[in-house]
Amino acid sequence: TKWKSVIGLEVHAQLNTNSKLFSGARATFGAAPNSCVALLDASIPGTLPVLNKSAVELGVKTALALGCNVSAVSMFDRKHYFYADLPSGYQITQQRAPLARGGSLSFPVFVPGVTKTPYYKTAKLHQLQLEQDSGKSLHDPYERKSLVDLNRAGVPLMELVFEPDLETGEEAAALVKELILILTRLQSCSCKMEEGALRVDANISVHTEGTPLGTRTEVKNIGSVRAVAQAVDYEIQRQIAVLDEGGKIHNETRAWDSAARKTVAMRDKEVVQDYRFMPEPNLPPLHLNLTEPAESSEAGAELINVPKLHRALPELPEQTRQTIIQRHQLTSTIAITLVNDITLYEHFRTIIDGSAARSPKLVANFLINELLTILNRNKLEPADSGLTSRQLEIVVDMLQENRLNVQYARRVLQALLDQRQRDGNTPSPSCPREIVSANNWFLITDEADIRRYCEGVLARNPKLVDKYRKGKEKMLYALAGEVAKVSEEKIDMARAVEMLKEMLK
């Protein structure tokens, strides 16, 4: 049977505000337990919610960046459920009249080694709503106690509900990656998944061509972009295996166990939970100004000005990719690789902007082929490497001035990383030129030196010379290899090959 998988994502992104959605308490990560709790967050009787303007603006900016229809009027609802970390017994959310609907996200799917060429996929956005987070329960099995930390209770979240438009784990991971790039540019969310600032739930089902969609399972709280791909792919394979053996898929909530690399059942969804949604009586409808407010109208001036927020949107990742392709004549694969890593793109822009003489193609190839190779070997991400754009641009300049070759450029990068490890995280940033000088790694470009190396190799390899002169032209590569070897690969190879050809005549 040819199974088709269908995936829809729900993403909760914590809005980058100083205070909570309906109270003045700080929304600080990592603060001492219960030190960021206002009376409202603890559900003390008589306290009332007041909406955080900054959270609404960030939500609107995100909706505009994703091409949504922002609602002129949206409403808040109470979603009831009973849990220790939700003192009021309900969560304030926007179920029926959300902040925005519609919109879509187009993103490149490109996994080096998996997808040959990048392709673009589009996922439609069903709705974007504001809601408050719940607190955190800690269960201590030894003391047989449950402890509740309300620091997160009431922290502002944006829930983005995507349509089931995806088919593979890699597409799901690529969507999350693009969303992270967009939210980071808008500064609407820190996107630190390790801090829970961005959480992904995936709805997954499989069916055969031409039949209705299968029963879906929901995998909750996936904690990293890589885990999104792994969890989704695992769950697809698990469902297919169950169905192939004649089993049935149950509508259930599952969790991703990253250590065991599998999904595990959490709770059954067959019993539909009744959240008893009702309008939030303490919050009036949220009105936004979708047109430019008239100068004189007092009422319009009070509302959030959506067109003004639209004008202030930054360049989005896809625009940046197109600019790189057009302005610098680089391929879409290079543009995607550069833009998909925030730090890598910052290095690229800084180095290119630093001097008009630098070749964008050389800079891009150096960052992607040399820098990423060395970082992968050291199991480091560009953001954690501690290498500065200034250090990288010196290496690029030495490559461009023909003072250094690619093999030694990699050695310089490794030396910089080693030094940072020795010095701890307070490196005395050493200059790549000093490293090259100290180790005598400069490219040999002096004509007399190159001639000396070539003459030596020809003298020591009379058989190869003889074969070449008898018409075996491939022997030239063998001789060039010898020159590279004796010069410890420091010689200007292009010039050495030309000189060998002249001498062999």
8 A C-beta contact, residue 328 and residue 361 = yes
Q: What pLDDT does residue 372 have?
A: 94
Q: What pLDDT does residue 297 have?
A: 58
At residue 133, does pLDDT exceed 90?
Answer: yes
Least confident of 275-289, 390-404, 469-483: 469-483
- Helix (H) / strand (E) element for 106: namely strand 104-109
Could you say which of 242, 263, 279 is where a domain stops?
Answer: 279
For 155, the domain range is: 3-28+38-279
Is 473 found in the same domain as 382?
Answer: no
At residue 159, does pLDDT exceed 90?
Answer: yes
**Residue 44 phi/psi, 5° resolution?**
-75, 130
pLDDT in tens, 198-253: 999 999 999 998 899 999 999 998 989 999 999 999 999 999 999 999 999 999 99
Could you say which of 387, 413, 439 is where a domain stops?
Answer: 439
Please indicate, yes or no, if residue 152 is contained in any of the structural domains. yes
Q: Please give the model's pTM, rounded to 2 decimal places.
A: 0.90
8 A C-beta contact, residue 162 and residue 10 = yes
Q: What pLDDT does residue 118 have?
A: 92
The number of distinct structural domains making up the chain is 3
Q: Which residue has the higher pLDDT, 491 or 99?
A: 99
Q: Which residue has the higher pLDDT, 46 or 295?
A: 46
At residue 423, does pLDDT exceed 80?
Answer: no
Q: What pLDDT does residue 437 have?
A: 86
Please indicate, yes or no, if residue 229 is contained in any of the structural domains. yes
Is 224 found in the same domain as 207?
Answer: yes
Mean per-residue pLDDT for 277-284?
96
Q: What pLDDT does residue 369 have?
A: 93
pLDDT in tens, 338-374: 999 999 999 999 999 998 899 999 999 999 999 999 9
Is 184 found in the same domain as 107?
Answer: yes
Is 361 found in the same domain as 249?
Answer: no
State the CB neighbour count (10 A cutoff) for residue 312.
11
**Residue 154 phi/psi, 5° resolution?**
90, 0
Buried b (16+ CB within 10 A) or exposed e, 248-282: ebeebebbbeeeeebbeeeeeeeeeeeeeeeebee
Between CA 309 and CA 439 the distance in angstroms is 54
Least confident of 89-93, 106-110, 166-170, 423-427: 423-427
For a pLDDT cut of 90, what percent of the chain falls above it?
69
Please indicate, yes or no, if residue 68 is contained in any of the structural domains. yes
Is 485 found in the same domain as 412?
Answer: no
Q: Which residue has the higher pLDDT, 474 or 399?
A: 399
Q: What is the chain's mean pLDDT, rounded?
A: 91
At residue 300, does pLDDT exceed 60?
Answer: no
Q: What pLDDT does residue 4 have?
A: 95
Is 223 found in the same domain as 101?
Answer: yes
Q: What pLDDT does residue 349 have?
A: 95
Q: What pLDDT does residue 298 have?
A: 60
Is 479 found in the same domain as 435?
Answer: no
Place of tokens 């967050």: 41
Is 453 found in the same domain as 430?
Answer: no
Q: What pLDDT does residue 301 have?
A: 61
Mean per-residue pLDDT for 149-167?
97
Q: What pLDDT does residue 72 have?
A: 95
Could you say which of 439, 459, 476 is where a domain stops?
Answer: 439
Paired tokens of 102: 């519609």
Q: Which residue has the higher pLDDT, 487 or 154?
A: 154
Between CA 303 and CA 311 the distance in angstroms is 17
At residue 89, does pLDDT exceed 90?
Answer: yes
Is 263 found in the same domain as 175?
Answer: yes
The full DSSP string for 9-21 is EEEEEE---SB-S
For a pLDDT cut of 70, what percent of the chain falls above it?
96
The full DSSP string for 330-363 is --HHHHHHHHTSHHHHHHHHHHHHH-TTS-HHHH
Mean per-residue pLDDT for 434-453?
86
Q: Which residue has the higher pLDDT, 490 or 187?
A: 187
8 A C-beta contact, residue 249 and residue 265 = no
Least confident of 285-294, 425-434, 483-492: 425-434
Paired tokens of 364: 């891009």
8 A C-beta contact, residue 190 and residue 58 = no
At residue 98, does pLDDT exceed 80?
Answer: yes
Is 261 found in the same domain as 230?
Answer: yes
Residue 425's pLDDT band (cuts 50, 70, 90)? low
Q: Which residue has the higher pLDDT, 502 or 250?
A: 250
Between CA 38 and CA 457 the distance in angstroms is 80
Q: What pLDDT does residue 263 have?
A: 93
Please indicate, yes or no, if residue 218 is contained in any of the structural domains. yes
8 A C-beta contact, residue 132 and residue 22 = yes
Is 166 found in the same domain as 147?
Answer: yes
Is 225 found in the same domain as 123?
Answer: yes
